[in-house]
Amino acid sequence: MSRKVTHHLPPAMLAQYAAGRLSYAFSVLAAAHVSLCRDCRDQLAAHEAAAGLLLEEAAPAAVSEDLLPRLLARLEEPAAPQDRQVEDGARPSGIYPGPVMMALKGRPPRWWHLGSGIRQALLHHGPGGSLRLLSVPAGRPVPRHTHRGTEFTLVLQGGFHDETGHFSVGDVEVADARLEHTPTADPGEACICLAATDAPLRFSGIVPRLLQPLFRI
């Protein structure tokens, strides 16, 4: 991408991603950011190289005598049919990086209106967290809120600003219970973001709080 990313994933999150320890929602967001950010891509490669060295230096572990026959038998099993749309979704499409297209199963987002022109496409919702696309009209604020857990927001189109600064395409904002903010989309085009959360948001206004269970925000 032509613009240099200025807000990155925390180093600890990159290390967890390299080790495969993130939930699905945060893994998709991390993969999407890494695909847009050369610096984090280089850091991820360093984490993976270090993990490889540790694996090489680890003492060999004892295995059962029937391990090899069992592995060979598994290789002879017929492969499960592949979902062609998921496979195709690994490729970027428009503003959406490959990992986001994978979460979309290769299809366009299915938008739901939240009010005031704001839309969301819920990609995942489960015990480990939620993953959604948000589209906010140019110049429009998101209702003021804080967080019961942690929220990572990756900008895919346009940009937004809040009490902590300005975020453009490729940037990630990290928010937790210490931050109460009103993200506001930049003028020009709609701001489209990928947001991963591990707990519901905490809205200040009564109307967003009433609608929150319906939209699973």
**53-90: per-residue pLDDT in tens?**
544 554 565 656 665 566 566 555 554 333 323 333 46
Mean pLDDT score, 138-165? 93
Give the residue from 165, 106, 105, 96 showing the smallest Cα distance to 133: 96
Mean pLDDT score, 150-178? 95
Q: E strand or H helix at 132, and its extent? A: strand 129-136
Report which of residues 147 and 196 the model is more confident about.
Answer: 196
Mean pLDDT score, 178-203? 91
Backbone angles phi, psi at 54, to 5 degrees: -65, -40
CATH number reported for the structural domain that contains residue 208 in this entry: 2.60.120.10
The whole domain housing 25 covers: 1-217
Query: Contact 25/132 with Cβ under 8 angstroms?
Result: no
Report which of residues 49 and 39 the model is more confident about.
Answer: 39
- pLDDT value at position 211? 53
- pLDDT value at position 205? 58
d(CA 168, CA 195): 14
In this structure, the strands spanning 159-162 and 172-175 are unpaired
Distances (CA, A) of 73 to 18, 61, 89: 30, 22, 31
- pLDDT value at position 68? 57
pTM: 0.78
Count the domains in the chain: 1
Backbone angles phi, psi at 134, to 5 degrees: -125, 135
Q: What is the mean pLDDT of the chain?
A: 82
Mean pLDDT score, 109-113? 94
Q: How confident is the model at residue 1 (pLDDT cuts 50, 70, 90)?
A: very low
Backbone angles phi, psi at 149, to 5 degrees: -135, -130
